[in-house]
Chains A and B, each alone.
Chain A
Amino acid sequence: MAVTRIEVTPKQGEGMRDVRGDVVRRQLMADHNIKVEEVRSINGFLIKSNISKPEIAERVNDLFSDPIIEDVLTDTLFLSSPEHFPTTPDAAITIGFKPGVTDNPGSAAFDGFKTIFPHHDHQIDASISTYHTYVFFGLPVGVTTEWLASTLHNNLIQRAVTADETGCLNAQWPAIDYPEKPPQTLTPPQRMDLEISDEELLSLSETGLLALNLEEMQTIQSHYRDEAIHQSRAAVGIVTDAPTDVELECLAQTWSEHCKHKIFASKIHHIDPETGEDSFIDSIFKTHIMKPTHDMQKEVDWLLSVFHDNSGVIAWNDDWSVCMKAETHNSPSALDPYGGAMTGIVGVNRDILGTGLGARPIANTDVFCFGPPNWEGELPDNLFHPSRVFRGVHAGVRVGGNESGIPTVNGAIVFDDRYIGKPLVYCGTVGIMPRKLPDGRESHIKTPTAGDIVYMVGGRVGYDGIHGATFSSLELTEESPSSAVQIGDPITQKKMLDMVLEARDAGLISCITDNGAGGLSSSIGEMATYTDGCEIDLAKVPLKQPGLSAWEILVSESQERMTIAVKPEDCAAFDAMAQLHEVEATPVATFTNTGMFHVKYEDETVAYLSIEFLHDGVPQLQLESEWHTPTPELFTPETISLPEKAGHSNLLLRMLAQPNIASKESWVRQYDHEVIAQTVIKPFVGVERDGPGDAGVIAPIHGDPHGLVISCGIAPRYSDLDAGAMAAASIDEAVRNAVCAGINVDKMAGLDNFCWPDSIESVKTPDGKFKLAQLVRANRELERVCRAYRLPCVSGKDSMKNDYGTGEKKISIPPTLLYSVFGDQPDVRFTATSDFKNPGEKVYLVGVSKEELGASEISFMLRESGEANGIGGQVPLLPNPEINITTYRALSTAIQSGLVRTAHDCSEGGVAVAAAEMCIGGRVGADIDIDGTGDASVWARLWGESLGRFLVGVQPENEADFIKWMAGHPITILGTVTDSENLTISDGHEILIDIKTNSMVEAWQKTLDMTGGVA
């Protein structure tokens, strides 16, 4: 078939701009300080179709170009047209996709193609591939075309064709061709001989990307030695004494760390020489997370579903329940920041859609951990610069969330050098569902029965996403296959989401789950445990391209798919609904009660595993853990000499500009945080809508002020001193943030998302015992604090291999817990924000400042600058959480009663930074006196990050009531909001800080504004 090339470029003229070109120009300036005079852009389409070139050419303005704003050429490169490009450029770079990579604009163009050629109806044979060309004018000397191209594309998934200065002069324009997929060869199912040596077993696991250890391989080996197994296999005509490749892959997926959480489920021998402890923990998860939550479930009536489903569900009111889930997508985001992060967010959306009988995603949260965006140090091989990771991840999450119509209401961005080795990309989603469906079923309970038909709904299965989860352990090369990473397709998913929720309300769904890691193998395999069996026909699975082998179809992690069970009598209605929404829905399996996971390809059985062995056969890991307290060099601020007057003032400006504290507004504003018309407290608050929000608050039922709070806490650097303290601080921060919005502390739930470096002792990880001990301490603190706060962990996830490289060059991330909280807010008309409201407002500290400067933001800042020697010292602790929660309850109810409209969490940067942020939000000054806030040193009272603290603003007329309300809780008057232009902070008579609010605004906003402006 002929390929027609169509190119489109923005019209030049009064008031018109080439915005895509401008964005490239501004980013080169913002990220690399390279000033290019002009960048122009061209969008290209390569149409491979049976529709003739003249027919297509006639309709270009109906589809490919907008005649008001764009020029278009068919089968001619714009660069060769002097009318459109009269000046010879310095470089031209064309970027297209590699074969097989998801091309969303191409798919959309194909959809539009069918609309404009309706008379061809079903006979259209077309596929469309897209590309971009960037044309550079006034390129500074020394900037090579090769380097420019490398910054503009990711060679894992894209191709670049370029013309450098000479090429441009000789009119050798880059003409990219249609990305033809090489033909794939189907491999019939193989017998995998496991009667081999241990060494060979391990090597099979390694080369096959199975990620199974020796004991696991041996367990599989002995399974196939069982005579009874042989007989049952013979009966279905599958190889009897060895697994097929399909079975081995299926077991590897189901038994993977990702699916089975083997470290959290392991038996740990824990030693603490400092206390003399020598004990065993039989599963951290069961002991420290599941047990406390189940204990709490006995005491409340609102914990509807915990742990076993795709997300945890709580009753929000009589009519509605809400659920939440957070995931990480770290390795894919390291490989392709954009695609990896996008599949992260749209993937966790599907976890919500797959909860119960289907919940509607209504809010997203995004928390990222990156290397410093201004990193100038050495960059290890094959790693992207942190600023590029930042941009790509942000763009992926932005597109995924915005196009799905789900507001991003809360998040955080954390920076530390060690995240250069592996960025952390946490994506969370909140969902809502009616407590009862029209047919009377409770929507949080799945109701499958044997005989139900199992559909695969949404996208098709392709090579993308085969072994996605395990691929990251291999070194990246130029030849890395496109299957390693995927790009999400939010619109395919949105169509599916619309359809699924309609099907749910029509009572057509008996069971639903997401297709994520492990693909159909996991999704159908997990659902089959409900009825105790299933029979799958892989030949029925719709494919993106022919030639996939059976095992590939079974384990492919291709995106945008749900697995849904439908009663046979409902299938016709379900099919009709799919057709209306233009969603592909294909019956691929049937639930049975045979006890078997039975997979066929047409009539041939290719896998025959018992549900029991598949899900419970994996042997428990036995791991060693040994704690020793880290002893980094101490942070001793009293030895730092500050200039008399401006000392702490300058420090405050520097602190406000620290990436961990600085405003993330330019990034966050690019997320839609208000779609669904429910967001009461937005990510940025205050008169200029640019002060920090503590928690997201939504009122999801239109017309009803009943609210829901969503917040998070993260404090990874505390792990440098004690990962237990890190966990406690994360949980406390999440709860404090929620309290600032007036959460009902008696109806809140949490999510624990652990990201850890490899914690299994080995040659690669000689300090595995210590890292595991960090995990033990973190989980012990998690249990202690959550029990005290009556805060059930209803869902969670762990990512346990966050390291880069080996030996000297190994980078391990700091052990990181993201703790998310979601819970009831009784009435959003009574909530609070961090901005000071008006002069005269009284400012209070709730809580006490202690001598806790260890691992504080100020210690890290001054160590980095060389002014301090270390970050060691007392890390913030939470000795009496059961007392803290009573204070939180008092403050939260004060907000719910309307007594308090101003509250801000006091964390990184302590009282000084919190007060500064509140002045910024209100564009006012304040007189603050930290005398009386505790017995600690000036540094600790000013910059310390003691837990359990808030800054609160109270109107003078409410002050007496506030004091009465908070009786018995630690509160200290700090001062008053003023109409001056300055924040002054003193310690009694000594003025420590005196800065103009406008200066603070500037310092706080400039660091991370990497937009390059609008000009």
Chain B
Amino acid sequence: MAAPKVAVLFGFGINCDHETAAVFNLVGGDAERVHVNNFVSGNRSLDDFEILAVPGGFSFGDHLGSGRLMGNRMRFALREQLHAFVAAGKPIIGICNGFQVLVKTGLLPGPNAQTPLPDFVQRASLTLNDSGRYEDRWVTLEFDAESPCIWTKGIERIDCPVRHGEGKFVMPSTTDFDALAANNQLTVRYVDPSTPVGKGMSDQPLPFPLSPNGSMRNIAGICDATGLVFGLMPHPEAVYAKWLHPDHTRNTAPGPLTSEALGEWEGEGLQIFRNAVEYVLGNR
């Protein structure tokens, strides 16, 4: 079967496009870096792709709020294409700045379970870390096993770096969170690594630096009601191999014992991308 075609956006300050393309290719995708303007101008069409990735970076310098200006370009110029993409059952991921972009376009969290397709209304935001600092540090993430998210199936807990200054996830009221929680859309949260696996998730904000940003309900990432659109602040692509884990020289870097991609050296982050590739292959 032909490898799923993955569009990895770049341009205007996106800067994780190379590695995001690379990790899809490692797990059987056929990734191509496509400049945003190629979609905006109609040179290229999203229809030609089966997965869309909005990588991390500093689109437009994060001026006027992270992801906002890129979000606007997509919201105003790619609205129909994006709607059709999700309606066609194709997965989208936004990582870090890409997550911020998806939130500001309104793709995440999206409307609701009854009418799950995108309406491009912004319902949440990612704002400045409580610390006031951009930081690069490793965190521990736990995933909601019941989440409809197609990207996170079977993943329980991973270590990942966060690299952001605006990662605090906020919504106007607790009922907004409760609605997402009821639908298991609060897909991934920061947890205390000393808790037992599967028991780490908590609504009470964890202290810094367990939660690097003061995110409400310790949210690191969410999905939309279809489970196709997923966004997260941490960088799973940055731990595609065990040699990128800080415990690598201690011989305790976690990850699968063996894999086709990297033998005994596959890192914990790669499964997220494999899930999407396999989802596409399974739903053709």
Contacts and interface: CB of A to CB of B under 8 A. Distances in A.
Contacts of A107: 63
A104 B11 CA distance: 17
A451 interface: no
A283 to B, nearest CB: 41
A669 B246 CA distance: 14
A677 B11 contact: no
Interface in B17-37: 18-19, 22-23, 26, 35, 37
Interface string A87-119: 000000000000000001101110110011010
B208 to A, nearest CB: 5
A108 B60 contact: yes
A837 B252 CA distance: 10
A57 B238 CA distance: 42
Contacts of B83: none
Given A402-B58, A685-B249, A108 B129 contact: no
Contact of B12 (A67, A109, A491): A491
Contact of B128 (A20, A104, A111): A20
Contact of B76 (A115, A673, A681, A703): A115
Contacts of A23: 132
Contacts of A679: 244
Contacts of B247: 687
Interface string A7-30: 000100001110110110010000
B127 interface: yes
Nearest to A15: B216
Interface in A576-627: 580-582
Contact of A109 (B38, B63, B163, B240): B63
Given A17-B130, A703-B26, A677 B240 contact: yes
B257 to A, nearest CB: 15
Contacts of A68: 122-125, 170-172
Interface stretch (A459-467, A824-832, A964-972): A824-832
B134 interface: yes
A105 B12 contact: no
Contact of B10 (A20, A109, A491, A498): A498
Interface string B128-162: 11111111111000000000000000000000010
B272 to A, nearest CB: 13
Nearest to A579: B37
Contact of A703 (B65, B69, B262): B262
Interface residues of A, number: 72
Candidate in A115, A676, A686 with the most chain B CB atoms within 10 angstroms: A115
A223 B237 CA distance: 61
B243 A680 contact: yes
A671 B136 contact: yes
Contacts of A402: 58, 134
A580 B58 contact: no
Interface stretch (A58-66, A534-542, A782-790, A928-936): A58-66
A580 B238 contact: no
A398 B134 contact: yes
Contacts of B170: 15-16, 68-69
A416 interface: no
B22 A677 contact: yes
B246 A685 contact: yes
B276 interface: no
Interface string B219-243: 0000000000000000101111101
A69 B132 contact: no
A398 B134 CA distance: 9
A350 interface: no
Interface in B241-277: 241, 243-244, 246-251, 261-262, 265
B219 to A, nearest CB: 12
B56 interface: yes
A62 B65 CA distance: 12
B72 interface: yes
A685 B60 CA distance: 32
Interface in A888-939: 901-902
B208 A1014 contact: yes
A689 B137 contact: yes
A686 B245 CA distance: 11
B183 interface: no
Contacts of A48: none
Contacts, number: 204
A560 B163 CA distance: 25
Contacts of A752: none
A901 B133 contact: no
Contact of B249 (A17, A491, A670, A901): A901
A39 to B, nearest CB: 11
B37 A580 contact: yes
A931 B130 CA distance: 50
A105 B63 contact: yes
Contacts of B41: 580
Nearest to B127: A69
A774 interface: no
A26 B132 contact: yes
B243 A829 contact: yes
B61 A405 contact: no
Given A116-B76, A703-B262, A689 B246 contact: yes
B16 interface: yes
Interface in A823-850: 828-829, 831-833, 835, 837
A64 B65 CA distance: 9
B161 A674 contact: yes
B216 A703 contact: no
A76 interface: no
Contact of B132 (A20, A115, A580): A20
B90 interface: no
Contacts of B182: none
Contacts of A829: 243, 248, 265
Contact of A494 (B13, B62, B127, B172): B13
Contacts of B235: 674, 677
B79 interface: no
Contact of A702 (B22, B127, B239): B22
A22 B129 CA distance: 11
A403 B61 contact: yes
A19 B26 contact: no
A19 B129 contact: yes
Contact of B265 (A16, A678, A686, A705): A705
Contact of B72 (A62, A398, A494, A582): A62
B81 interface: no
B1 interface: no
A105 B235 CA distance: 26
A490 interface: yes
A674 B136 contact: yes
B237 A677 contact: yes
A62 B240 CA distance: 36
Contacts of A680: 243-244, 248
Between A26, A111, A398, the greatest number of chain B beta carbons within 10 A of the residue's beta carbon is seen for A111
A675 interface: yes
A1011 interface: yes
A736 interface: no
A831 B249 contact: yes
B11 A495 contact: yes
A699 interface: yes
Given A674-B235, A703-B26, A832-B249, A1011 B123 contact: no
A111 B59 CA distance: 12
A19 B243 contact: no
25 contacts: A19-B130, A66-B122, A67-B122, A68-B124, A68-B125, A69-B125, A105-B64, A109-B64, A111-B60, A403-B61, A491-B58, A580-B43, A581-B11, A669-B135, A670-B133, A670-B135, A678-B19, A679-B244, A682-B246, A702-B23, A702-B240, A703-B240, A703-B261, A833-B249, A1014-B208
Given A19-B128, A678-B19, 4 more contacts: A118-B76, A580-B38, A580-B43, A682-B246
7 A-B pairs closest in CB distance? A405-B15, A108-B63, A702-B22, A677-B19, A19-B128, A68-B125, A23-B132
